[in-house]
Amino acid sequence: MSAPVALLVGNPNSGKTSLFNGLTGLSAKVGNYPGITVEHREGRCDLGGGHRLTLLDLPGTYSLAPRSDDEAVAVRGVLGLLPDAPPADLILCVVDATALERNLYLVAQLRELPLPLVVCVTMTDTIEKDGRAFDAALLEKRLGVPVVATPAVRGGVVALRERLRALLADAKPRRHALNPPALPGLDDATVDGAGRAVAAALERAGRSWKGHERALGLLAASMCASGGIDKLGLPPDVAERAGVADAWRVVRAVTEARYQRVAGWAVDVIGAAAGEPRSARFTRRLDAIALHAVLGPVILVGVFLVLFQALFSWSTPMMDGIDLVMGWLGAHASALMPESLPLLRSLVVNGVVAGVGNVVVFVPQIAVLFLFLTILEDSGYLARAAFILDRLMAGIGLHGRAFVPLLSGFACAVPAIMATRTIESTKDRIVTILVTPFISCSARLPVYALMIATVFSTQPPIFGVIAPGALVMVGMYGLSVAAALVGAAVLKRTVLKSPTPPLLLELPPYRMPHAGQVLRAVLARVRIFLTEAGTIILAITVVLWALFTFPRDQDIAQTAEAARRAVEVTTAPGDARDAELASVDARAARLQVEQSIAGRLGHALEPALQPLGFDWKLGVGIIASFAAREVLVSTLGLVYGLGDASDENSPSLREAMRADRHQDGRPVYTPLTGLSLLVFFVFAMQCMSTLAAVKRETGGWRWPAFQLGAMSALAYLASLLVFQVGKLLGFS
């Protein structure tokens, strides 16, 4: 027998996803900003005593009248209209005790529906610190449904598990829905008719709501007033037949009646606050500084400057350690492979070990980045950053809520593009989708780190304190943000012209991040990066290995073998011999790559790339990086033949790039070349997964094709401008 299904619903930022993690043990993302969960998540909850529960975590919503696509997902889940979700047996509604009156409005709507309801109240410890007591038993009496108080982020879910187990032991809990509030002058026939239209549509979808037409009618009125009924995926004729005359009057009357009930419940169970609560006073005082017109932006810039400086000072030792481990692994893998299978050994060492290793080495930087972002997010500061940045966004016409997708873009553009569902306006949503890939994602970070470490790490500190690489990194992230903002301004005034929408933003109270939640979030981000990037890199690296390996030139192999024998005869065993043998192997590998299919393709593109400061090797890397930006790193590793090295004395990729020279003796990689490449990767659309996400979210290939063409052209022109102007100014 399948486990019963519970829907986890609640207001955004109510502790819903934390409770989901506590019940299921899954590391779903925990956010302090509304709309952070954009898809329903599924997990299994072991309640003990042989009882299990399937839990679906739906997006946050303030009511059952959806105004955005993510709220529509939640409402569709409650009504049983999610095609991928099993039918629900009960609803678990999460309520934030610090905003009890606002959160209970959703409860007031849910208790009018036929599904069994359990209310879980979080943040009760905060109420107690403010000198007020929360009476769960009284709230349960007022609501007529089970109520459990638990601070979810502290894992206090034992009582909730016991309550759910007791309810499920009773052959699945059942209850009668409570009647909606009686309203004088309400056109019952019209409301009931609308409810019957919705009920009939739900019946055809396999969901029986007979006997609850009044509740569905009021729900239809609310959705008609908000424009959300079209977001539920119902047939067009249903939306027309469910229309309620004078819907706004009905909704206003029902809303006022519900809030009268809710206000009374809130006062009964926690009492009226005697003065300003301590937590609210602390938040207000801190906001006076963090949201100051002058100090706020200064603090914001300082926070992110410290973040990017830490990317180098904290992660470099860990990166060096991983580099040593991967070198050791490649050497031993080569030694274990039989010499009778040279192609297989080359595939394993040059393709798998070297390709994946050149990406894994950047995990410390990614972990440091998300450690900072998670702490800032869980503390509540990032919501303030959205408020500060809205002043800038409003000037260019970008919706303030676009800050969340743009912020998510620092991790990956794919979930960031999905996060645009929280934006109500279709045009504003498309604008945000089109500019989000400009934001420097984590896949760009390996490219940034490689080029900065190669060409800028040898430069002296600025003012004797600031590493040039840190400033370049900040500059690239700043340029990416500027590109997104300017791109949005241009689109809002041309292709997708529309008025600037107002910002509606909830500022959560400041909270101390919990170490366990932060650690789980960071590990989840790293795991996603490794699994998704690793799968792509492995497949692409095999293809690249074939492009670099064939056709085989026997003359190169014979010449290399002769050179190796000469070294073994003329040089005594030791480090010197090992270094010379490694040099022979690297030289042979490079010659093989240069005459391979990939090398010939790179040479064919070189005339078009020379004005940017790129040679044929970077041309091959740029082509390969269309699969994923970070593939550039593993591609360069193959181009330089480092995978053929069989001992730890082999030069690293950075050292090989520094040592590379043009035929006239000039270094291939200079600060100007590195800057040109970094600018190219800021603007270029080098990710097929992102294009697929854009196609899915926009419903066709029109916008992805426009996006790919525009970003590629802009990347080429920007890189050309940087390199040519730099040369004119005398830089190298």
For 309-334, the pLDDT digits (tens) are: 776 677 778 877 887 887 788 778 87
Domain C-terminal end among 290, 306, 323: 290
Q: Which residue has the higher pLDDT, 222 or 632?
A: 632
17, part of any domain: yes
pLDDT(74) > 50? yes
Cα separation, 370 vs 366, whole angstroms: 6
Can you say how many angstroms the Cα of residue 456 is from the centroid of all Cα atoms in its chain? 29
Q: Dihedral sign for Cα 607, 613, 618, 622, please.
A: negative
For residue 147, is it within any domain?
yes
Chain Cα centroid distance, residue 73:
19
Phi, psi (degrees; rounded to nearest 5) at 86: -70, 155
For position 624, what pLDDT does the model report?
80
Q: 710 CB contacts (<8 Å, ≥6 apart)?
A: none
Domain finish residue from 256, 273, 290: 290
Would strands 5-10 and 117-122 be described as parallel, antiparallel, or unpaired? unpaired
For tokens 């003990």, name the residue: 48
Of 274, 290, 306, the last residue of a domain is 290
DSSP secondary structure letter of residue 198:
H
Q: Are 469 and 460 in contact (CB under 8 A)?
A: no
**Cα angle 152, 67, 31; round to 5:** 25
pTM of the predicted model as reported, rounded to 2 decimal places: 0.66
The reported pLDDT for the residue numbered 239 is 52
Residue 559 has pLDDT above 80, yes or no: yes
Domain membership of residue 604 (yes or no) is yes
- Can you give the pLDDT at residue 646? 29
Q: What is the reported pLDDT for 483?
A: 93
> How many residues are there in the chain?
732
Q: Is residue 207 part of a domain?
A: no
Query: What are the pLDDT digits (tens) for 59-70?
Result: 888 888 777 767
Least confident of 33-47, 88-102, 602-616: 33-47
Please, are residues 508 and 280 in contact by the beta-carbon 8 Å criterion? no
Residue 167 has pLDDT above 60, yes or no: yes
Is 618 within the bounds of a domain? Answer: yes
Range of the domain at 283: 1-189+244-290
Lowest model confidence (mean pLDDT) among 165-169, 426-430, 531-535: 531-535
Q: Which H or E element spans position 429?
A: helix 426-435
The whole-number pLDDT of residue 487 equals 92
Q: What is the pLDDT of residue 726?
A: 92
Q: Which value, to the nearest 10 degrees, does the dihedral of the CA atoms of residues 358, 363, 365, 366 take?
A: 120
Q: Is residue 410 part of a domain?
A: no
pLDDT in tens, 456-497: 877 767 776 677 778 888 899 899 989 998 998 899 888 888
pLDDT > 90 fraction of the chain, expressed in percent and rounded: 11
d(CA 563, CA 33) in angstroms, rounded, equals 63
Going by pLDDT thresholds of 50, 70 and 90, the confidence category of residue 230 is: low
The Cα-based distances of 403 to 202, 392, 430, 538 in angstroms read 36, 11, 14, 33
Residues in a beta bridge with 120: 94, 148
Q: Does residue 400 surpass a pLDDT of 70?
A: no
Share of the chain above pLDDT 70, in %: 77
**Distance (Å, rounded) from C-alpha 675 to C-alpha 528?**
29
- Residue scoring higher pLDDT (78 or 339): 78
SS3 358: helix
At 553 the pLDDT is 77
Q: Rounded CA gap, 14 and 621, in Å? A: 45
Average pLDDT value for residue range 288-308: 84
CA distance 610 to 619: 10
Higher pLDDT, 241 or 436: 436
Q: Is the pLDDT of residue 250 over 70?
A: no
CB 173 within 8 Å of CB 106: no
- The mean pLDDT value of the chain amounts to 77
Looking at residue 699, its pLDDT comes to 73
| CATH, residue 8 | 3.40.50.300
Is residue 158 one of the residues assigned to a domain? yes
If one counts the domains in the chain, the total is 2
Question: Which pair of tokens denotes residue 461?
Answer: 């500190």
* Reported confidence tier of residue 120, pLDDT bands at 50, 70, 90: very high
Q: Is residue 520 part of a domain?
A: no
